[in-house]
Each structure stands twice: as structure tokens, then as C-alpha cells.
Structure 1
Amino acid sequence: MADTARNRKKNIRAENEALILQAAEKVFAEAGYGGATMQLIADVAGLPKANLHYYFPTKDELYRRVVETIFQIWLDAANVFENSDGPAEGIGAYIDAKMEISRRHPAGSKVWASEVMHRAPVIQEWLESTLNVWTDGRIALIESWIAEGRMDPVDPRHLLYMIWATTQHYADFGHQIETLNNGAPLDDAQWETAKTNVRRIILKGIGVSPD
């Protein structure tokens, strides 16, 4: 009985935290850090403000968790590099993963973009440490593919910047894309078309067959 009660409490906590983080992503993306309030986030989450403070005592702590969450999602998406046989599979799968993140976490992407555009007051340490190490590792792998003649000799750093800019555009400039799509979000078929085209254009641009 005690284990059942603990598990139930643990599940409730996880569900409430997920609900709060989803609401916080939306509010921070739309209002920015300065315009967001704990009361507004609680209202969007459909929870009493007291519950919000129970899980996240301060707005700063909640904001950091939101940014940390989207950062970790992006890092996890890059695991396809290590598990790939070459640039077609590795870079192609990474593009697909980043496009899917933009589709499923557009608010989180907007929060990240806003943070970086404001000179990363919260995540600068992550940029200088974790992201720097991650980027250097991907650069070394891409350089090995170039040395093996498996792709054109492009600058790996600028290739990564291009992938980030292109895939995250679908989240950060989602309103613009909807406007140009007759005022409607991309449907499932349009997302698949977008992923296919972005992957094909980038891979062909570095001398890799997308098929």
C-alpha cells in the first residue's frame, strides 16, 4: 500500500510538472521573461498559483527549467550522429529530428531564440560549456567524413549553423509560415514535404545523395 501511494504521488507530481512546463513555454514564448507572471502561467496551466509555487518557487527557477528542457531535447536529437554509418544517415536524421522538434516544441524554440537574442543571461554558461563541447564533437565527426571523401569539404561549423537556422525557422517564424500557407498551420503531409525538401537541399548541397 505504501509503495502504491508513493508511486501515485510521484505520477501526480510528474503530470503537474509537465502541465506547468507546457504552460510556461507558451507564456514565456508569447510574453517574454519580463511580461510573464506566475499567475498567468498558473492560469494557463489551470492550476492554483500556490500549486505552481510548490513545484517552482520562483519565476527564474521555472524559466531555467523551460530553457534547460528544450536544450536537452536538442542535445538528445543529436544522438543520431553517433549511431549513424555516414553523413547521409547522420546529417539526414539530425535534420529530420530538428524539424520534428520545431513541430512539437515551437514555444520552447521561441523561448530559446529570445534568450540568445538577449545575449543569453540565463544560459550563457551552457553555451560556453555543454554546447561548445557538443559542437566540437560534431565538427570532428563531420571532418572525418570529409577526410574519407564521403561529403564535400565544407566548413562543419557553418553547416551546423545552417541546419539550426533552417529547422528552427519553422518554429520561430511559425506565424509567417502559417500566413503564407493560407492562414493555416502545416498539416501532416506538409510537414513531411518540408522535412523531405530541407533534408534533400542540404544533403545535395554538401555532395551527399539524400536517397
Structure 2
Amino acid sequence: MTAPKPRTRIQEKNRARVLEAALEIFSLHGFRGATLDAIAAEAGLSKPNLLYYFASKEEIHVTLLGGLVDTWLAPLRDMRADGHPQDELLGYVRRKLQMSRDFPRESRLFAQEIVQGAPRMIDGLSTDLKALVDDKAEVIRDWMDAGHIARSDPHHLIFSIWSLTQHYADFDVQVRAVLGADRDPFAEAEAFLDVLFTRLLRP
């Protein structure tokens, strides 16, 4: 079987343009509300040109989600069993909050996929994601058994970190409307979450 030809620099550049445009459109309108015409217009390409790089809207969406999951799970993968438990968990909280600040469109894309029942990534959620979370939950449980942090349900502790950090990306408009234009929600959130989780984790 002949190996596929490597993409040229122009092809890589145009694929990246399509994915960047699709991220903008999907994060605003969701999968159902997005159209190939809108993605092509956002990318500054014709629809036939876009279809040269991606065969369908679903292929674009799946490509985005695949890259997003790797990025989104990196902070959890980086949690070290041999690190200081409170430092590792507080570091994870801070990195998740930083990602919500730096990658709000990616967070909304992921949230919309989950809300719609994760039709394009359910297999990965129930296999790769579950395996990673189960592994880190076991690390957290070992820390609890050793008396390094307060006892709680490790899975729900991880869920609480997700919800309390990604909220600032997924509900950014609501947060800023309530706080007002003169306040930085992420700076305030980091200080608040440090206090909250320090108290929660304290043995």
C-alpha cells in the first residue's frame, strides 16, 4: 500500500485556517448550528476549496475534538503521584482555570459536545478518559489513606475542579455581567479557588 504524500506547507496552512475558523463557528453555534458555508467564509476559502481538505462538517468537528481532548487532559496527566498532594491538586486547579482563560472557545466546544450527548466522542470518554480519571482517582485515594489530604470521593473531587474552573469559560458572559467590567474574573477566581480547595484538602 502506497503511503500518502506529505502535505505541502500551503496545505498545512489552509487546514489550520479551516480548523481555526471551524473552532470559532462551532464554539458560537454548536455542531448543529454550524454550516460548511459559514466555516468556509470565516476561513476566507471557497466551499469547494474547504472540501478539498475536509470531506464533511463532521470530519472537521472530530478533528477539532481530537486535538482538544489531548490538550484538555494534559494537566490531569501531569499530576504526579510522587509530588506533594496539596501542591499537585492546587496546581491542577490553577492550570485548569488558566486553560479556561486562554482557551474559552475550546472549552465551549467541548461543553456543547457533552451537552448534546457526546455523539462524536462517547467512545473516548468511556475508555481513555475513564481510564485516566480512574488512575488519578486512585492516586488521590492513596494520598487520603496516607493522611496527606482530607478524605472525600476522589472522582467527585475531580468533577468539582472541572466544574469550578470551566464555568469561567463556558459562562463567561454571565460572570462578567454580574461582576462588572472593572473586575478580572480569573484573578479573583484563582484567589478564591486557592482558599476553597486549600480548606477542602486540609487533613
TM-score w.r.t. length of structure 1: 0.85
Distance change in 2, residues 1:39/1:83 (3 Å) = farther
Q: Any gaps of 5 or more consecutive residues in structure 1?
A: 1-5
Between the aligned partners of 1:177 and 1:80, the Cα distance in structure 2 is 29
- Structure 1 match to 2:195: 200
Query: Which of residues 170, 174, 177 in structure 2 aligns to 1:176?
Result: 174
How far 1:73 sits from its partner (Å)? 0.8
Distance change in 2, residues 1:52/1:195 (3 Å) = farther
- Structure 1 match to 2:102: 104
What are the residue-to-residue correspondences of 1:21-170 with 2, within 5 Å? 21-82=19-80, 85-170=83-168
Between the aligned partners of 2:161 and 2:89, the Cα distance in structure 1 is 9
Contact 2:77 2:132 in 1 (8 A): no
Query: Which residue type is aligned with residue 176 of structure 1?
Result: Q
Contact 1:84 1:90 in 2 (8 A): no
Identity %: 30
Q: How many residue pairs align between the two structures?
A: 198
- 1:81 is paired with a residue whose SS is coil
How far 1:127 sits from its partner (Å)? 0.8
Distance change in 2, residues 1:45/1:158 (3 Å) = same
Between the aligned partners of 2:38 and 2:181, the Cα distance in structure 1 is 27
Contact 2:108 2:170 in 1 (8 A): yes
- 2:78 is paired with a residue whose SS is helix
- 1:149 is paired with a residue whose SS is coil
How far 1:83 sits from its partner (Å)? 7.0
Between the aligned partners of 2:116 and 2:196, the Cα distance in structure 1 is 31
Contact 1:86 1:145 in 2 (8 A): no
Between the aligned partners of 1:52 and 1:132, the Cα distance in structure 2 is 34
Contact 1:80 1:93 in 2 (8 A): no
Query: Which residue type is aligned with residue 81 of structure 1?
Result: M
Q: Any gaps of 5 or more consecutive residues in structure 2?
A: 1-5
TM-score w.r.t. length of structure 2: 0.88
Between the aligned partners of 1:161 and 1:42, the Cα distance in structure 2 is 36
Contact 2:86 2:201 in 1 (8 A): no
Q: CA RMSD in A?
A: 2.1
